[in-house]
């Protein structure tokens, strides 16, 4: 097995790889790859993902680790805040002292789930349909006739069972099994995860590839909130197994950082805009560029007035903008949003870069300005949220 270490937004680095390993990495699209100066030497760079994964068949496995540029504790703040902004507490997610994403996430989930289940495994009612030798609940008459052809037993019945086998516990169990299969999970964390398997005895394992079971936040399952949020990161937002017929297998956990930043900004900014009234729409699909409505627009955030008219539009860009106006395509995109919605200001928000916001006055369109702003993701959470609050104030300030 070959270990490859990269850093998010880092420079191209050279690595010795076999042809099979290079093919597997290229097919996975987890990294950018190019031939090096000689045979067997390849140049690699991240592709916007961070985390850890094993790529390729057993005989030519590459263990890939991409270190995020955002400190791990700040990254967990972005992840958890976007899922439950009002209930976020800095001590709720313990990532330990792990400097890499996968060990930190595994540790955080194991600790959160252990704290949750320490109070007892949640039970709930689940509707069950099965064939029994005795009557329990209600008889499913149609199924009894179609399947049993007049025989009195077994009886096709439907009943409610008070059980541990509910969606909340199924999600925790699935995340536990998933993390136990991933590379680079520390021994101490693995021990905690195996202990979780014992606590979740009697819970059905989910079928790979199927949608996660739906669960609804209630007073009864509120203590599960943090653990379930982390479990869904493992299962839905960040992890996958691919086998597209080429023999390339990916087993790991990788996060798309542009999506992490976009989710955080949209949720945090929507909260910050709440005191100003109106309504905030995320990923607004109401607008089209052309009259025939063939070209769809989907800005990240649109803030409407009380009567439903667009008042502001915002797009998140996980890029470093050192000087205003260097990403021309972003400006063109925002110009389209503002033109269609009849707005005089649009806002581009970058993950890092320039200090003070910069407003571009657009030629040929009287009064239209596109404002570029950046957030410093390395700041403590309270300071980062203060930056978002300043952005909300700037958005709602009369022109």
pLDDT tens digit sequence for 343-382: 999 999 998 876 678 889 998 777 899 999 999 988 888 8
Q: Please report the pLDDT score of residue 347 as a whole number.
A: 95
Q: CA-to-CA distance for 139 and 150, rounded, in angstroms?
A: 14
Q: Please report the pLDDT score of residue 238 as a whole number.
A: 40
Confidence check: pLDDT of 392 > 60: yes
Q: CA-to-CA distance for 178 and 255, rounded, in angstroms?
A: 15
Q: CA-to-CA distance for 280 and 302, rounded, in angstroms?
A: 6
In this predicted model, which residue has the larger pLDDT, 347 or 56? 347
Q: Please report the pLDDT score of residue 100 as a whole number.
A: 75
- Give which of 313, 317, 308 is closest to 339, Cα–Cα: 313
pLDDT (mean) for 70-92: 71
Q: CA-to-CA distance for 374 and 353, rounded, in angstroms?
A: 6
Q: Please report the pLDDT score of residue 175 as a whole number.
A: 92
Q: Out of 72-86, 118-132, 298-312, which region has the weakest mean confidence (pLDDT)?
A: 72-86
CA distances from 258 to 50, 171, 330, 385 (A): 11, 25, 14, 18
In this predicted model, which residue has the larger pLDDT, 70 or 399? 70
Q: Please report the pLDDT score of residue 245 as a whole number.
A: 43
Q: Please report the pLDDT score of residue 329 as a whole number.
A: 92
Q: Please report the pLDDT score of residue 243 as a whole number.
A: 42
Give pTM, 2 decimals: 0.75
Position 54 confidence tier, pLDDT thresholds 50, 70, 90: confident
Q: Out of 1-5, 44-48, 176-180, 361-365, which region has the weakest mean confidence (pLDDT)?
A: 361-365
- Give which of 52, 50, 53, 48 is closest to 24, Cα–Cα: 53
Cβ neighbours of 11 (radius 10 Å): 8
pLDDT in tens, 89-124: 555 566 666 667 888 888 889 988 998 998 899 998
Dihedrals φ, ψ of 332, to 5°?
A: -65, -40
- What's the whole-number average pLDDT of the chain? 85
Q: Please report the pLDDT score of residue 210 as a whole number.
A: 76
pLDDT (mean) for 71-89: 73
Q: Out of 32-46, 52-66, 227-241, 313-327, which region has the weakest mean confidence (pLDDT)?
A: 227-241
Position 241 confidence tier, pLDDT thresholds 50, 70, 90: very low
Q: Please report the pLDDT score of residue 182 as a whole number.
A: 81
Q: CA-to-CA distance for 266 and 273, rounded, in angstroms?
A: 10
Position 83 confidence tier, pLDDT thresholds 50, 70, 90: low
Going along the chain from its start, the domains and CATH numbers come out as: 2-69 (no CATH), 72-122+165-237 (no CATH), 124-163 (no CATH), 277-396 (3.40.1350)
Confidence check: pLDDT of 242 > 50: no
pLDDT (mean) for 242-270: 75
Q: CA dihedral in degrees (9, 10, 16, 17; nearest 10)?
A: 0
Q: What angle do CA 35, 40, 43 make, to 5 degrees?
A: 35
Q: Please report the pLDDT score of residue 15 as a whole number.
A: 95
Confidence check: pLDDT of 84 > 70: no
pLDDT in tens, 259-269: 889 999 999 99
User: How many CA atoms lie within 13 Å of 284's alpha carbon, on the beta-carbon side?
Assistant: 24
pLDDT (mean) for 13-25: 92
């Amino acid at each position: 097995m070959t270990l490859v270490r990269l850093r998010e937004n880092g420079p191209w680095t050279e690595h010795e790889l076999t042809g099979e390993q290079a093919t597997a990495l290229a097919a996975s699209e987890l990294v950018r790859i190019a031939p090096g100066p000689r045979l067997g030497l390849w140049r690699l760079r991240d592709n916007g993902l961070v985390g850890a994964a094993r790529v390729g068949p057993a005989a030519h496995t590459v263990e890939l680790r991409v270190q995020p540029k955002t400190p791990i504790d700040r990254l967990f703040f972005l992840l958890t805040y976007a899922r439950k902004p009002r209930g976020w507490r800095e001590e709720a997610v313990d990532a330990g002292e792990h400097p890499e994403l996968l060990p930190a996430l595994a540790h955080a989930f194991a600790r959160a789930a252990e704290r949750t289940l320490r109070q007892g495994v949640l039970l709930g009612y689940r509707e069950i349909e099965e064939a029994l030798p005795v009557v329990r609940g209600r008889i499913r008459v149609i199924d009894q006739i179609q399947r049993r052809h007049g025989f009195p037993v077994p009886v096709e019945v439907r009943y409610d069972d008070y059980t541990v086998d509910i969606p909340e516990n199924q999600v925790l169990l699935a995340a536990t099994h998933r993390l136990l299969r991933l590379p680079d999970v520390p021994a101490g964390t693995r021990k905690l995860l195996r202990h979780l398997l014992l606590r979740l005895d009697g819970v059905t394992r989910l079928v790979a590839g199927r949608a996660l079971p739906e669960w609804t936040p209630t007073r009864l399952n509120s203590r599960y909130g943090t653990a379930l949020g982390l479990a869904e990161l493992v299962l839905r937002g960040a992890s996958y197994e691919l086998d597209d017929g080429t023999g390339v297998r990916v087993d790991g956990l990788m996060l798309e950082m542009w999506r992490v930043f976009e989710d955080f900004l949209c949720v945090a900014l929507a909260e910050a805009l709440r005191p100003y009234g109106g309504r905030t729409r995320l990923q607004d699909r109401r607008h089209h560029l052309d009259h025939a409505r063939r070209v769809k627009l989907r800005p990240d955030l649109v803030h409407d007035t009380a009567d439903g008219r667009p008042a502001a539009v915002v797009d998140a860009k996980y890029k470093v903008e050192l000087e205003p106006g260097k990403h021309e395509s972003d400006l063109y995109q925002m110009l389209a949003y503002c033109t269609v919605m009849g707005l005089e200001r649009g806002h581009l928000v970058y993950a890092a870069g320039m200090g003070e916001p910069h407003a571009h006055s657009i030629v040929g369109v009287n009064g239209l300005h596109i404002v570029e702003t950046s957030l410093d993701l390395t700041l403590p959470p309270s300071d980062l949220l203060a930056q978002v609050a300043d952005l909300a104030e700037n958005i709602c300030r009369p022109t």
